[in-house]
Amino acid sequence: MKRSDGLFLRTGRAIAPRYEDIAFETIIADNACMQLVRDPTRYDVLVAQNLFGDLLSDLGAGLVGGISNVWAVLRDETDIHVFEAIHGVAPDLVGQGIANPLTWIRPAVAMLRHLDEGKAADRIDAAVASALQAGVRTPDIGGTATTAALVDAIIARL
């Protein structure tokens, strides 16, 4: 890992000057975990290799209620984007009607914004907010609604 970590750090240092409005700081992964727990508002963006990024994103997800509340955008140097739920599919929830559909709706909204479809993204965000404010929530976010009930509530508000 020392070689790949070294390459990652050298690359980060080399490209950091291109982004003058973003502070560049290196931190060891275990210390980053502690700092996130102590003060998660300290960071807006964390850049990490896959292994450490997975650990940090799961820790961050725990700070906001679990992995069903977060999503990710993966981007490469050619500006290709992948919008995803960080947990992938949840085979243990299949057929139970308790999966949180927001884990897939929220990255889709981010994709719409990336594609300059802000009005559509705003409509979906407003529908989601309205459904949640009305108490339509899956069990993982403190409710009793089924997956279908939450989806139906969002669609009805569009």
Could you tell me the residue ranges of all domains in the chain? 1-63, 69-158
Between CA 12 and CA 131 the distance in angstroms is 41
Among 143, 144, 145, CA closest to 156: 145
List, in order, residues 6 or more apart from 104 with CB less than 8 Å away: 85
Using CA atoms, how far apart are residues 16 and 3, in angstroms rounded to an integer? 20
Could you read off the pLDDT of 40-97 as tens digits, one per residue? 999 888 889 888 988 998 898 889 888 777 888 888 888 899 998 877 667 888 899 9
Assess whether pLDDT exceeds 90 at residue 10.
yes
How confident is the model at residue 76, as a pLDDT? 81
Higher pLDDT, 28 or 117: 117
* The token pair that represents 10 in the structure block: 């050298």
Q: Average pLDDT of 96-124?
A: 95
pLDDT score of 2: 64
Q: pLDDT, tens digit, for every residue of 116-140?
A: 999 999 999 999 999 999 999 999 8
Q: What is the DSSP letter of 28?
A: -
Question: What is the signed CA dihedral for 139, 143, 146, 152, rounded to 10 degrees?
Answer: -140
